[in-house]
Structure 1
């Protein structure tokens, strides 16, 4: 979560102005004393610190088991003691997660939030004429202020947290959310435990901390393990689902984009990179994603044994870095200055590193070991899916290419025509689409005179001439035998006629060099001609088959029957 410098300045300024004054005011109004309760307070403090460093994170919100103990501190020792203990518990939690300098603003946020919640609860308690010390818990008059205290803290905590998310972190969301439900469950759990601990403390003294504290710590550990296993199971389920999705994608680019999208969601990373191995010694960034947006930045190649990814390329082993200090000496040049945590995993196929995955976060200690294991599984899925997609693309390419001429074949032409006519239906501004069909005149005579291999040489040379002439303005395909098709998007009839006439003259005026297979193999020059017909949609055709059929008709009736070596336009 990015917090502006202005917001950080306001937070620290507010804390400096409010916290000391509030704490001194509350202390001066209280009758808090340590004398005679030193061991009791130390025991409660140790318990509350133990519980604070064992939070359960649910929906990104840490649930602490300190509230029951805080209730005991408040009821017996007063508001000042409860504030001090809550602040120390919060400080212990922040120290446990080891926030860095960039995240130090979280201290004033949490400190002010804890202070505000304590003040809201305390004021409510005093307004309901609540007192401190040894209370008679069998009296309803005692329970009413306690219930008011807990209820006001519950609503105050959620309201302050909601305000912080919207004003500081700029996060939008409803007030009544799942977080509120979890807080309610947590309060229902803590409240009776706090009352039980208070009653036992009144009745049997300090030993009550052991009787309630040990089971409470044990329960925290058990629930942490449970939620941890649930989280890991969730990751494994998502991993399996992503594996199936990757296997079902037969386009390399789609496989990579799907992988980036899903892994970014799973890991909540700020940056992700896929580096392809282009030589034995070199990696190149082929995909760079910042948050959910694909970036077009270009980076210098990464060499073996250089940087994080270069070392992973050399070792073939995954690495995880929790802070920038651990990896910055390696010099990973493409990572932004804000990055702290890095997770880097090799993609291995047939015992060879074929790519390297890099995930980066601006937060310290953003990645756990189980996430590293998850990404290693996903990397194997990515390797298999990418290889399968490349095989499929290669097979598809071969099925769409004429092996002799290298041009697209009839199958590809059909698909392309379907797409072009589909565009007619999806746009209101229709541009003309022209199709030229040419047939070499008397090609059978060429084969009979010089041999079929010589005929193939003419087809190959003609394919090269047409490709060079048409360039990027259209698509050249071999329709079959000695017939060729040229598809020209956004080209009207007049322009198409000029292009077709230029092609006719090029074929007729420039001889083809072939080897005379039937005459000893010597090189000779041969002159040929072609008959050409064309049609233009939507004027001449309403569908793919129409434009082909009408161009064919123009060629045979207008050019072939008109004496060959001619260009003919389709006429209805």
Structure 2
């Protein structure tokens, strides 16, 4: 959970004003009863052990210490229980290896446990509860109220904290149900520990604690296997979904989205092998796509370069493990790093690097899952690139490299739809035909004619740029589609096109001569202009009217000129 620097500072200030003074006053008003250094030390040691072995449920570590704190409270009083829970929560936080961005969790959980102890303890004393040995019938109800009140206080504090972060959670949500379910186990264990330690001393902690810890370890192993199965299922699902995407950008974005949802990732980078360089393709930091501006890497340069060179994955649990290996850019707060090669046909095609500000954020089985996902990614990228290349070739003229008639027709239909929905204001079409092109082929050869077509395509692309789309319509005919361009502006552009062609000679080679001499040849073009919705209501009408302007208004009027479509009266 992310909080602002101001909010974090407030949490620390509240902790400093509340917890240390609160512990002091707890000692003054509720000092330890039945103080036994040996027994109290045993409770502290056992608390630390349990805090280092949390139970993991659905991937979330949970501290079940209430049964120990209940027994400690009933025997030694409120002060010792407050101190014991503070030891437990700080040990638990260290066990989780909380990163720099989550340091607020130390003071916040300390505040919560302190207030839980104080409020539930006061309620316990208010309803007549006593400290020390009492018959079970006199202590059962107050102890039960103590446990229930601690759960409710915890939930109220959670709601308050989320409100402080401008977020909401339900009062009677799943967390509360889980807490009460856990209490059904913790409460009898706590009472049992309380009475048993009066009979046999501190050894009672281990007689009850050992089965508890054994159960916790079994649950951890079971949960780990369940997590691996879930990750494997997710990997298969993601793999199938990856192969459905036919655009490289879609494949990369989908893959990163799924990785960010599946693993604790704050920084993610996908790098592509291009010749002798490892080039960045995608860069995501704190769930935001960043511009690609990092220099390429060579083999054995940095973590990614080593993974590329070796073809083996790398897993680092803390900054000190990779500091000497890394080279170039790495966010300052990174601790854990996971890097996997993207392999296809037994060759490294790229590298995935994931990073987190938390220590030991990634486990070995997660490395295995990411390795599987990267295999899917390599195939998906290859398929998408093949599809894009095939699609690009099918849309382009092999000679001029301009869009072809097929692509142009689809684009024109799409633009007309935009015109009808109001996304376009107008649409202009320029159609041009090279004058006397047949004589060029007859006099200099068809290869020379192709040189002119290729050079003309480059001139048109340079001139039009991003203002429109240039396509080869067929033979020596070209079209220029200009979205949101009025007929008057299109006419002016067409005139610039005409002069660009006529005023600059084309350089070609006479392919009909043995020496294939380089020649300069002046070429002209006749151009027609039409616009929609002014001149046409559909795409075919726009093409037909621009073509009519070209032949009747330009060709028949002497060529090397621009003509616009005029409706017949």
Distance in 2 (CA, whole Å) between partners of 1:391 and 1:380 is 17
Deviation at 1:476, TM superposition (A): 1.9
| Aligned pair partner of 2:393 in 395, 398, 408 | 398
Answering whether residue 136 of structure 2 is matched by residue 142 of structure 1, we say: no
CA contact (8 A) 1:437 1:555 kept: yes
User: How do 1:152-301 residues align onto structure 2 when only pairs under 5 Å count?
Assistant: 152-167=149-164, 170=165, 172-176=167-171, 177-198=173-194, 200-201=196-197, 208-280=204-276, 282-296=277-291, 298-301=293-296
Q: Select which of 356, 360, 374 maps to 2:355.
A: 360
TM-aligned CA deviation for residue 192 of structure 1 = 3.1
In 1, distance between residues paired with 2:63 and 2:472? 72
Instruction: Tell me if structure 2 keeps the 8 A contact 1:67–1:194.
Output: yes
SS class of match (2:324): helix
TM-score (norm 1): 0.87
How many residues were matched structurally? 565
User: Could you say what secondary structure the match of 1:302 adopts?
Assistant: coil
* Compared CA separation, residues 507 and 310, structure 1 to 2 (3 A): closer
1:448-502: CA deviation from partner (whole Å, max 9, x where unpaired): 6665445434433443443344344332211122322122233322333334345
Deviates more, 1:514-523 or 1:394-403: 514-523
1:439 aligned residue (430, 433, 436): 433
How do 1:85-104 and structure 2 match up within 5 A? 85-99=84-98
Consecutive unaligned residues in structure 2, runs of 5 or more: none
Maintained 8 Å contact 1:63/1:186: no
Q: How far 1:545 moved relative to its partner?
A: 2.4
Q: Equivalent residue for 2:457?
A: 463
Q: How far is the alpha carbon of 1:319 from its aligned partner?
A: 1.6
What is aligned with 1:64?
63
Supply the distance in 1 between the matched residues of 2:530 and 2:6 (Cα, whole angstroms): 66
Asked whether the 8 Å contact 1:54–1:224 carries over to 2, the reply is: no
1:59-113, Cα deviation, whole Å (9 max, x unpaired):
7754222212222222233323322332332233234334567765544333332
For the residues of structure 1 that align with 2:555 and 2:99, how far apart are their CA atoms?
82
C-alpha distance in 1, partners of 2:428/2:101? 62
2:402 alignment partner, SS class: coil
> Which of 404, 415, 433 lines up with 2:410 in the alignment?
415
1:477 aligns with 2:477: no
Q: Is the 8 A contact 1:264 1:291 kept in 2?
A: no
Structure 2 match to 1:76:
75
Task: Tell me what 1:23 maps to.
Answer: 23
> Within 2, Cα distance between the matches of 1:493 and 1:370?
64
- Contact 1:504–1:565 (CA under 8 A) maintained in structure 2: yes
Matched, 1:335 2:334: no
Pair 1:14–1:459, CA change in 2 (3 A): closer
User: Are the aligned partners of 2:281 and 2:292 in contact in 1 as well (CA < 8 Å)?
Assistant: no
Which runs of structure 2 are paired with 1:316-335 in the superposition (5 Å)?
Answer: 316-335=311-330
Q: Give the secondary-structure state (helix, strand or coil) at the position aligned to 2:414.
A: helix
The 5 A counterparts of 1:1-12 are 1=1, 11-12=11-12
Q: CA deviation at 1:297?
A: 5.8
- Could you report, residue by residue, the CA deviation over 1:233-257 in whole angstroms, capped at 9, with x for unpaired residues? 3332332222222211111122222
Q: CA deviation at 1:33?
A: 4.8
In 2, Cα distance between the equivalents of 1:521 and 1:213?
A: 98
- C-alpha contact 1:535 1:547 (8 A) present in aligned 2: yes
CA distance in 2, matches of 1:20, 1:506: 82
Bigger drift between 373-382 and 12-21 goes to 12-21
Question: 1:171 Cα deviation (Å)?
Answer: 6.5
Separation of aligned partners in 2, 1:77 and 1:506: 96
Q: Secondary structure at the match of 2:536?
A: coil
* Alignment check: 8 A CA contact 1:347 1:355 kept: yes
Structure 2 CA distance for aligned equivalents of residues 172 and 332 of structure 1: 40
The answer on whether the counterparts of 2:271 and 2:281 sit within 8 Å (CA) in structure 1 is yes
Is the CA contact 2:460–2:470 (under 8 Å) kept in the aligned structure 1? yes
Report the Cα offset of residue 122 of structure 1. 0.8
Report the TM-score when normalising by structure 2.
Answer: 0.87
Higher mean C-alpha deviation, range 460-469 or range 547-556: 460-469
Aligned partner of 1:500 in structure 2 is: 494
The whole-number CA distance in structure 2 between the counterparts of 1:304 and 1:52 is: 44
Answer yes or no: is 1:541 the counterpart of 2:536: yes
Unaligned ranges ≥5, structure 1? none
Is the CA contact (8 Å cut-off) linking 1:434 and 1:493 kept in structure 2?
A: yes
Aligned CA-pair RMSD: 3.2
Residue 401 of structure 2 corresponds to residue 385 of structure 1: no
Using the alignment, how far apart are the partners of 2:237 and 2:415 within structure 1?
35
- Output the CA distance in 2 between the equivalents of 1:121 and 1:325: 43
